[in-house]
Amino acid sequence: MRRHGTTSRGPTAARRRRRAGPPHRAADIVSRRPRVGVRVTAGLGNQIFQYAAGLAVARRLGGTLELDTSYYRKPQARPLDLARFGVTWQECHVPGRSGLARAISRLLTGGRNRFFSTRAELRERGFPYDERIRSVRGDCYLDGYFQSPRYFADIEDEIRTRFDPARFASPGTAALERALAAEPAPVAVHLRRGDYADPAVGKKHTLLGPAYYDRARALLDGRFPRATYYLFSDEPERARADLAHWPPVTVVAGLDRFEELHLMARCRHFIIANSSYSWWAAYLAAAPEKVVIAPRQWFTPPYLRELPTVDLFPEDWILV
Structure confidence at residue 103 as a pLDDT band (50, 70, 90): low
Q: Which of 119, 33, 115 is nearest to 70 (CA)?
A: 115
Is 95 strand, coil or helix?
coil
State pLDDT tens for residues 42-63: 999 999 999 999 999 999 999 9
Distance CA 111, CA 86 (A): 34
- Considering the domain architecture, whether residues 314 and 177 belong to the same structural domain is answered as yes
Across the beta sheet with 140-143, what order do the strands follow? 90-91, 64-68, 35-39, 140-143, 120-123
- Considering the domain architecture, whether residues 190 and 314 belong to the same structural domain is answered as yes
- Considering the domain architecture, whether residues 181 and 314 belong to the same structural domain is answered as yes
Distance CA 253, CA 237 (A): 9
Say if CB 284 and CB 159 are below 8 A apart.
no
- Considering the domain architecture, whether residues 44 and 114 belong to the same structural domain is answered as yes
Strands 90-91 and 228-233: unpaired
270 in any annotated domain: yes
- In whole angstroms, what separates CA 47 from the centre of its chain? 4
293 in any annotated domain: yes
- Domains in the chain, number: 2
- Considering the domain architecture, whether residues 116 and 155 belong to the same structural domain is answered as yes
11 in any annotated domain: no
17 in any annotated domain: no
pLDDT at 105 over 80: no
304 in any annotated domain: yes
Mean pLDDT, the chain, whole residue set = 87
Last residue of a domain, one of 141, 162, 183: 162
Say if CB 94 and CB 116 are below 8 A apart.
yes
The CATH number of whichever domain residue 243 belongs to comes to 3.40.50
Residue 95 has a pLDDT of 58
Residue of higher predicted confidence among 86 and 9: 86
State pLDDT tens for residues 167-194: 999 999 999 999 999 999 999 999 998 8
Range of the domain at 86: 32-162
- Considering the domain architecture, whether residues 106 and 220 belong to the same structural domain is answered as no
State pLDDT tens for residues 242-262: 999 999 999 999 999 999 999
- Considering the domain architecture, whether residues 269 and 132 belong to the same structural domain is answered as no
Last residue of a domain, one of 162, 180, 211: 162
DSSP strands (E only) in 54-143: 64-68, 90-91, 120-123, 140-143
What mean pLDDT comes out for the span 149-163?
98
Phi, psi of 33 (to 5 degrees): -60, 140
pLDDT at 270 over 90: yes
185 in any annotated domain: yes
